[in-house]
Structure 1
Amino acid sequence: MRRFVFALATVATTALSLPALAGEQYVDGTGYAVSGYDVVAYHGLTQSAVGLAQPEGVKGKASITAEWNGATWAFSTEENRDKFLADPEFYAPQFDGHCAYGVSKGGKVPGNPNLWRIVDDKLYLNITRNVVGFWEEDIPGNIDKADGNWPGIEPNAASTSVIPDFTSSAPVTN
């Protein structure tokens, strides 16, 4: 019995010391993570109060990109790309770019880059304006639910759905 407990403890310690790998990043028809929007730029935008629409995200440039988590990320400046590469997990949206409210409900659906909020320095995306309303009714509670659900759904394939009411286009070319 003592050997079994020791073996179990060793496996648990080893598993906990391994890096947490991200799941499959949501990538829409543009071929870019977050539809080609600059994830670092969100941290410089002024957030609107809960209940009001956020400012639109900043489009990245096709000439300024980086590879991470199996996806291509676009940035508006080389400085933003360098910041991302120095700490991609800080800047990348939570739940691999899937809708945070959807994850709180136990599923993976796309996140819209213009329906965003930063909470405790973490970027969260949602799928539609209606969903944002549900999300904002209890942001901390929805984050807790999503964080609890994520380990069980993270290994599932990324959503293949399109973002409703969003016209995605490739990042700007200049």
Structure 2
Amino acid sequence: MFPSTSISRTFNGLGRSMSSRLFSSSKLFSSSRLFFSSRLFLAFIFAFALSSCGLIPSQVSSSINAVNVDQSRLAIKGYDPVAYFTEEKPVLGSSQFTAEHMGATYYFSSAEHQSLFQGAPDKYAPQYGGYCAYGVSKEYKFDIDPQAWAVVDDKLYLNLNQTVQKRWLGEKDELIIEANNHWEVIADTPVKK
């Protein structure tokens, strides 16, 4: 319980008699404690809800900034990531076969590809969240052309366009090492426009 003298100082100018009367009743004191407890509880719920919705990203894997997506959160412009491995070519996926990974939606050309991806999404998802591999090696996040691709050491790499792809292929081993180091730093940063 608060002594009435400390409460009167808190109310600055309300006077000792008013503050004594205000808190003399244990009922009023317990309701004010309940009010402060409920405010604390609501603050906790609000903070939890924000972090659960991804508005306060807690790790790279949960941040949509780490994945190259369009406004509807579609990755690789709708191309099937599994087809790069199984058919060795870009194949446009279908909205009939989808899967979610790291906040992005991936399309697939078949239920089989969808199932393969769901069983091992990190194996089939493009490196660097689907951003241009060459750009990431230079500490930038560039969009990609799904036709500019390579599978190297069982990992999918995408590039900005065919010209950048040719340059990247000429130095891919060094550029992959550079990009791996830079990705840890830039993965969660927003794309500069």
Tell me the TM-score normalized by structure 2: 0.64
TM-align CA RMSD: 2.0
| One-letter amino acid matched to 2:92 | K
Q: Which structure ranks higher in relative contact order (CA pairs < 8 Å, sequence separation ≥ 6)?
A: 1
**Residue of 77, 97, 100 corresponding to 2:130:** 97
Deviation at 1:27, TM superposition (A): 1.1
Contact 2:137-2:182 within 8 A present in 1 as well: yes
Contact 1:94-1:124 within 8 A present in 2 as well: yes
Deviation at 1:128, TM superposition (A): 1.5
Deviation at 1:67, TM superposition (A): 1.3
Deviation at 1:38, TM superposition (A): 0.5
Deviation at 1:21, TM superposition (A): 2.4
> Percent identical across equivalent pairs?
38
SS of match in other structure, 1:156: coil
Q: Once the two structures are superposed, what CA deviation does each residue of 1:85-133 show, in whole Å capped at 9, x if it has no partner? A: 1110100000000000000001111121110000000000000222112
| One-letter amino acid matched to 1:156 | T
The residue correspondences of 1:121-160 to structure 2 (distance < 5 A) are 121-157=154-190, 159=191
Contact 1:104-1:145 within 8 A present in 2 as well: yes
SS of match in other structure, 1:145: helix
Residue matched to 1:27? 69
Contact 1:61-1:76 within 8 A present in 2 as well: yes
**Residue of 99, 111, 115 corresponding to 1:82:** 115
**Residue of 113, 122, 127 corresponding to 2:146:** 113
Task: Output the CA distance in 1 between the equivalents of 2:74 and 2:151.
Answer: 21
Give the number of equivalent residue pairs: 133
Considering fraction of residues, name the structure with more helix.
2
Q: 1:58 to 1:127 in 2, by over 3 A?
A: same
